[in-house]
A and B are shown apart, each in its own frame.
Chain A
Amino acid sequence: MNLTIVLQQLVNGISLGSLYGLVAIGYTMVYGVIRLINFAHGDIMMVGMYFAFTGIAMLFLPWWAAFLLSMLASALVGVIIDRVAYKPLRNASRISALITAIGVSFFLENSFLVIYGGVPKAFPVPSVFGGAINIHGVIFPNIAIITPIVAMIFLMILLFILHKTKYGMAMRALSFDFETVRIMGVNVDLVISMVFAIGSFLAALSGIFWAMRYPAINPLIGIMPGLKAFAAAVLGGIGSVTGAAIGGFIIGISEILVVALFPSLAGYKDAFAFLFLIFVLLFKPTGIMGEDLERGRF
């Protein structure tokens, strides 16, 4: 394999990894504040894709407006899911909330199946993201270059919010001590809603870029990337935003490299993240950036 291909594959892997990373952030933040694996989170990707699809192909909005509206609408969907389905179960046993989460996931998948049908839809890719550029004879698709840049910008904004704003700090504090934050007079429910909004916004962003990468969308499309993003979140250390982003890159790059180096294993591509997850649980269950969230339980 020559250097050109390695470079191409690396860019490709970084691009894919940043998509996983964006979704992983939502998993990790929600788990951090309410200790819930939000199974519906991968499906929010799908929701974002269909909203953007509707905006461009059915409402004939300019692409940027459709994208932005889709992300905002997805954020709203995330908040509504929390308020309607998860909030009533805040004090119930953990298993009740998890069962509800899987119910929400199934609901999203199937209601979109009912609305849009099961036949895959062609996602209209705006021309800006279409072409490819040629750098010294190496050809990169535009989308592969743009994706990680956009992802980095949003990651920076998120880190700024988390560390420099009052509500961002409240989000971080929540993952350590629910009661203290409540006593300090922060509106805990508002903070949790914001976490869902941010997570869903980023998942929709990731979904839209996913759809431009693989422009055929169906209602079950969010499941697999959702699962891989979860593996990324665990790998990065659940609860850590930076860890989630790094975990995303690792999973994305290794997925691309495994397929490039061992083409015979290409069929098993989707089994790969699962193996990753098992290995992480076996050897480094707290992840690479993780703090043990369970500490001080007594």
Chain B
Amino acid sequence: MKLDRNNILTALSIALFFLFVWWANHHLTSYAVRIWEDTLIFLMLSAGYNLINGVTGQFSLEPNGFVAIGAYVTAILILTPAQKESMFIIEPMVPWLANLHMSFLPALIIGGIVTAIVGFLLGFPVFRVRGDYLAIVTLGFGLTIRVVSNNTITITNGSLGLKGIPTYTNIWWCAVWVVIAMIVIMRIVDSAFGRAMKAIRDDEDAAIAMGINTLWMKQIAFVTAAFFEGVGGGLLASLITIISPTVFTFFLTFELLIIIVVGGLGSMTGTAIATVLVVWGSELLRVVEQPMNIFGLHIPGIPGMRMVVFSILLIVIMIFAREGIMGQKEFSWDWLFNKFKGKRA
């Protein structure tokens, strides 16, 4: 890496970010820290999600299924053999998995790699035929992974799920991983690979005619997203400590979709802004599902109302404000300096 102005500034802002994490960890309530942990994990997930949807333009609905894989793999690897033995009461776990035990970091990485492999296998049949069917295949995969985890009792403990997952995840784990994810993804975007992905998004036939192997480029985007979704799943599993086939529902995917649409499809800067807005906004919206008293009028809680609000929000943005907050624009130091000098970026 070169030591020029931009890289030094980037390094400084990462340092500033870790300073914020340190501050948040010491001065915020545990509730607020928890929401920040969610925010950081969601940022990692949505950055990957935006790489395939926004940058490469291939509409996909994979996150909840992929997060589930990462969560299960990591959970199985960090649970102790004793815990697993007492938990698997319907049928015992397959022996080689039951005795497998490792620390958090390798477990997270393996979770990411397994998810990436699944992504590769799933992407192959779909991208061979232009990727139109990616969304429905990944949607189907999310449903299928639920069916499978319900039935593979000797691996996943079926519908009982896994309990007592060690709580390694804290705000530092989340912060470090989100920095890694953002650096990797933004570097891919800012390279010949990113240009090829954007070319596919803008006009796939022309991209093919330019000699771009579109199948391969789509796979790189999809597999990268899958890896970070797997890691994110591992972090989440260790944060919520209980996972079962019904934990990672389509709502997770939907929330990420809202994030990348609000931020601007194709803009990682927009994704970062939107993640903070949506995760914290979603917390505030919990109010509408709880019973409340307004001026003496009792309104019972309406389950599902939050999701109705979200879906209307998504449709309205798509129709009236398709660009989102940032469009496809990206923050860069050059842009900032030019702004100061009053020049056109």
State if A and B touch, Cβ cutoff 8 Å: yes
Which size class do A's interface residues fall under? Answer: 35 or more
Q: Is the CB–CB distance between B315 and A85 below 8 Å?
A: yes
Kindly supply a per-residue 1/0 record for chain B positions 132-143, scoring 1 wherever the CB is within 8 Å of any chain A CB and 0 otherwise: 110111011101
Q: Tell me the dominant secondary structure on chain A's binding face.
A: helix
Chain A residues with Cβ below 8 Å from B150 are 267
A146 within 8 A of B: no
Contact A281 B133 (CB under 8 A): yes
Partner of B303, one of A94, A103, A106, A118: A118
Inside 8 A of A100's CB, which chain B residues have their CB? 314-315, 318-319
* B307 contacts across to A, CB distance below 8 A: 106, 109-110, 113
B115 at the interface (CB under 8 A from A): no
A151 contacts chain B at the CB level, 8 A cutoff: no
Is A39 in contact with chain B by the CB < 8 A criterion? yes
**B269-324 at interface with A (beta carbon < 8 Å):** 302-305, 307-308, 310-312, 314-315, 318-319, 322
A227-B136, A227-B139 known; A278+B265 contact, CB < 8 A: no
User: B345: CB under 8 A from chain A?
Assistant: no
Complex formed: what's the CA distance from A215 to B148 in Å? 25
Given the interface pairs A93-B57, A281-B128, A281-B129, the reply to whether A274 lies near B318 with Cβ below 8 Å is no
Given known A-B contacts A224-B143, A274-B141, A234 and B133 have beta carbons under 8 A apart: yes
Bitwise, A106-134 to B at CB < 8 A (1) or not (0) is 11011101100010000000000000000
| A98 and B151 contacting across the interface, CB-CB below 8 Å | no
For the complex of A and B, the 8 pairs showing the least CB-CB separation, nearest first, are A107-B311, A113-B304, A103-B314, A110-B307, A106-B311, A267-B151, A281-B125, A285-B129
- 29 sampled A-B residue pairs with Cβ under 8 A: A37-B136, A85-B319, A95-B53, A95-B58, A96-B318, A98-B59, A99-B59, A99-B257, A99-B261, A99-B314, A100-B318, A102-B254, A102-B257, A103-B314, A104-B315, A106-B307, A110-B311, A114-B308, A230-B136, A234-B133, A268-B148, A268-B151, A274-B144, A277-B137, A277-B140, A281-B133, A282-B128, A297-B205, A298-B205
Contacts A95-B265, A278-B137 given; 6 further ones with Cβ under 8 A?
Answer: A99-B318, A102-B61, A104-B311, A114-B302, A231-B140, A267-B150
